[in-house]
Structure formats: C-alpha cells, structure tokens
C-alpha cells in the first residue's frame, strides 16, 4: 500500500510527497489496513505512537483504511481507552471503585488535584501530569489505589500520594537540570 500521495483534499498535508506527519504509522497500516475488523488495533497502535488521536490522524487512518471519517471517529469515541488531546508525561489514574471509595479515594483525589493545581481530566501547565478518574483498577486489596503510567501505588494516604507526586516532580526537575 502506498502512503505517498493522494488527491483527497483533506488539506492536512498527510499525503504530501515531502511531508507525512504520520509516516510512523505506515508500517502498521501496511500490516492491517486491508484486514477486516482491524480498525481498533490500528487506532491503538496510532495512539501508542502519537500519544492521542488527533482529527488529522483519524482522517489519515480513514483514508488509508478506506473507511469514512465518521466510522473511524465513531469507533474511537465509543471506547474509553482512546484519547483526543495530548496527555502529560505521567498519566495518573485515580481509582473510584467501591473498595477505594470506602477507603478514602475522594480525599486522595482532592489532595492530588490540589497538589497539582488542576481539575480532573486536565494536564498540568508543565505537561508533566494528567489526572483521570477511572471506575476500577482491579487492585481492590490495595485500596485506595492510583496508577501513574504503569506503576501501581496502593494503600494510599493523602501524604503518601503527595510524596509520590513530589518525588516524580523532583526526579523530572533533576533530569531537566542535567540536560
């Protein structure tokens, strides 16, 4: 499948000969574009590569898979795993499940949001953190619990949650200073 030039008029430049901002997705499209039922896989890989699904990226996927943009957008918006705006370097998922709820999840949420000075669903100005509530992380024996990227933190207290975030901030500052 060629991803070089098309006369589709989207105006995003995704098929310009010299510039293809989505060229990193082309190997995925080569493998899956013609495979029935592979749209979710393509969207997952696209989000893995680019961090989120922009309108331009979904348009590119629609064209390359011979789907309508409405279908691609419909599939992407149906599933909660897909994001449509950039997220911070550290994605914080705060569990709101029953076990976490009865063990203080609301206090943890309030402390995290206050510490970062943002609202749920927002990203800090420095791009370091995004905070999202989730229905359940499946770690009920560790409640209350949060995940930051792939790391799980359980049996949280307000102080423990703040200390974890401060440690990540400090580590990031140290890494920035070394550049």
Tell the residue number behind the tokens 């998922």, with chain if given: 93
- Strand pairing report for 151-153 and 129-134: unpaired
Is 140 annotated to bind a ligand? Reply is yes
Residue 132 backbone dihedrals phi, psi, to 5 degrees: -130, 140
Q: Give 94's strand partners.
A: 133, 146
Q: Give 116's strand partners.
A: none
Is 12 annotated to bind a ligand? Reply is no
Residue 27 tokens read as: 């190997």
Is 14 annotated to bind a ligand? Reply is no
46: helix, coil or strand? helix
Q: At what angle do helices 55-64 and 69-78 cross, to 10 degrees?
A: 120
Which residues fall in the annotated binding site for [2Fe-2S] cluster? 95, 100, 136, 140
Which residues fall in the annotated binding site? 95, 100, 136, 140
């Amino acid at each position: 499948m060629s991803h070089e030039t098309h006369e589709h008029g989207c105006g995003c430049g995704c098929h310009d000969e010299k510039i293809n901002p989505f060229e990193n997705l082309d190997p995925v499209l080569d493998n899956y574009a013609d495979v029935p039922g592979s749209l979710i896989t393509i969207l997952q890989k696209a989000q893995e590569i680019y961090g989120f699904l922009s309108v331009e990226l979904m348009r590119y996927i629609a064209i390359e898979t011979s789907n309508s943009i409405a279908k691609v957008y419909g599939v992407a918006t149906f599933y909660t795993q897909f994001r449509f705006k950039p997220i911070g370097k550290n994605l914080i998922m705060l569990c709101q499940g029953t076990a976490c709820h009865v063990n203080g999840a609301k206090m943890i949420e309030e402390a995290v949001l206050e510490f970062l000075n943002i609202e749920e669903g927002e990203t800090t100005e420095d791009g370091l953190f995004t905070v999202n509530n989730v229905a359940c992380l499946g770690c009920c024996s560790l409640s209350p619990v949060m995940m930051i990227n792939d790391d799980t933190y359980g049996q949280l207290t307000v102080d423990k949650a703040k200390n974890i975030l401060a440690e990540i901030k400090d580590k990031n500052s140290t890494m920035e200073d070394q550049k």
